[in-house]
Amino acid sequence: MLEFHNFPLKTILRRAIMSLPTNFNDILRFFEKDYDTAKEDNALSARGQFLQLYPLNHLKKMTLDDYVIGKGTASFCACVEVKTRTWANMQGATALKFGIYYGKSKSDPTVRYRFTQKFGDDDSTNKEVFANVKDALLDLIQSGKELDFRAIDENPLSQMFKAKILSLYFPEHFINICSKDHLKEIAMEMGIKEQQFISKYQHLLFKKKLEHKITRNWSNPKYMSFLYAQFIRKDLSSAPAVIVKKPQKRNHPEVNFEEITDNRDLIGKKSEEYALNWEKNRLIGLGYSKLAEEIDDRRNRPTYGYDFLSFNAPGDERYIEVKSIGRDGKEGAFRFFLSGNELTVSNLSNHSKNYYFYLVQYGKDGEPCNLYVKHAQDLYTNSEMSPCAYVVRFDLEEPA
């Protein structure tokens, strides 16, 4: 029999199973303990950006090019499928799931508009087909508002596409799960009786979130992550959105203090504006549009020790320090410069719980391309910190 530290493998497995929580409250707490909130933040910001680009009251004015995927430009369909992937995954099937798209097919390499027969026939123009698709989209929105599950299910748009749209526009009614099979499987596991309409499962799973004292204040992305971990993956462990770890090689580089100043002036402001917009989208994605306008810009008041005062929820403050990150040499570790005051403030008892670094990464074009949210205490634990610079201030007075 295979042995491990002098214990039989069967014993190890039995003890591991016995150590897993079985009470539902304990299961929720076990999941929450290691849940990476950066995933949640990314999803919320993606939804916020989507709502800024495609608010409900603008859908009637949407043109074919605004809607269609395949032209290499931002579009409604591209945002629903790709740009908001952190909110919900709806990959699968072909671009025909959108009703109409621009591109090739397996049998025809010609790049042109293509559509399903549900929205037009061989004699239909692209304009006519899109009018039918847009009518279906607007009908879906109305059905979602009215919680008309029959009308939602009978709408000719594809099921995954409909589920994603409903979750983006109506998170107060529909959980962000798009797969028909997963919706039914999770609903059965959660004790929901079999329903006639798939969209009703999507609604009832959201209601389940509200019914529990632990999950009622969770965001939809967090609750969705739990449901997938518990019932689909059957693994409550949660991989972080991005792993921060101490660099393998310890070095003692020379510090170029002019570089610190130049970095702040040339890149810092661009990073701060990028992060501010990202944070506003996160709050909009949470449903706190008014709070997004109340973010306090404290960049010109460095004694605060952070750039922006934002919110996790009404009355719950979030302290944000924006940092541009770059490698220390061609193959070195990522780094940023931290002031003594920022370090002190981030460790204060009344700040440490809600102090976050927003780490902005740049692409080859010199523009911000990624933002990573890291809790300050987690970052300190998993990084290498070296003294860099302090400002020494004092008064001089000649003796009388």
Summarised one tens digit per residue, pLDDT across range 66-86 is: 999 999 888 999 999 999 999
Phi and psi at residue 368, to the nearest 5°: -60, 135
* Separation between Cα atoms, residue 46 and residue 282, nearest integer Å: 7
- Do 190 and 208 meet the contact criterion of CB atoms below 8 Å apart? yes
Output the six-digit token pair for 283.
């709050």
Please list the alpha-helical segments (H only) found in the chain: 9-19, 24-34, 37-53, 64-67, 76-78, 126-146, 149-154, 159-169, 180-189, 198-211, 220-227, 257-263, 269-286, 289-292, 340-346, 376-381
**CA–CA separation, 202 and 204 (whole Å):** 6
Secondary structure (3-state) at 7? strand
Q: pLDDT tens, 138-156?
A: 999 999 999 999 999 999 9
* Cβ count within 10 A of residue 234: 8
Give residues with Cβ within 8 angstroms of 387, minimum separation 6.
none
Length of the chain: 400
Residue 14 φ then ψ, to 5°: -65, -45
The two beta strands, 100-103 and 112-115, are antiparallel
pLDDT digits (tens, 9 = 90+) for 320-354: 999 998 877 666 788 888 988 999 999 999 999 99
Taking the C-alpha atoms of residue 160 and residue 183, their distance in angstroms, rounded to an integer, is 11
CA–CA gap between residue 95 and residue 102 (Å, rounded): 9
Judge whether 38 and 373 are in contact, CB under 8 Å.
yes
Domains of the chain: 1-26 (no CATH), 35-232 (no CATH), 257-381 (3.40.1350)
Q: What is the rounded CA–CA span in Å between residue 49 and residue 195?
A: 33
Residue among 364, 210, 373 at smallest CA distance from 282: 373
User: Which residues lie across from 374 on neighbouring strands?
Assistant: 357
Q: Is 141 exposed, middle or buried (0-12, 13-18, 19+ CB in 10 A)?
A: middle
Helices and strands, counts by H and E, the chain: 16, 11
Q: What pLDDT was estimated at residue 219? A: 98
* Mean pLDDT, 10 residues at a time, the chain of 400 residues: 39 44 89 92 98 97 96 93 95 89 91 95 95 98 98 98 99 98 97 97 98 97 97 84 71 54 71 97 96 97 96 97 83 83 96 96 90 94 80 64
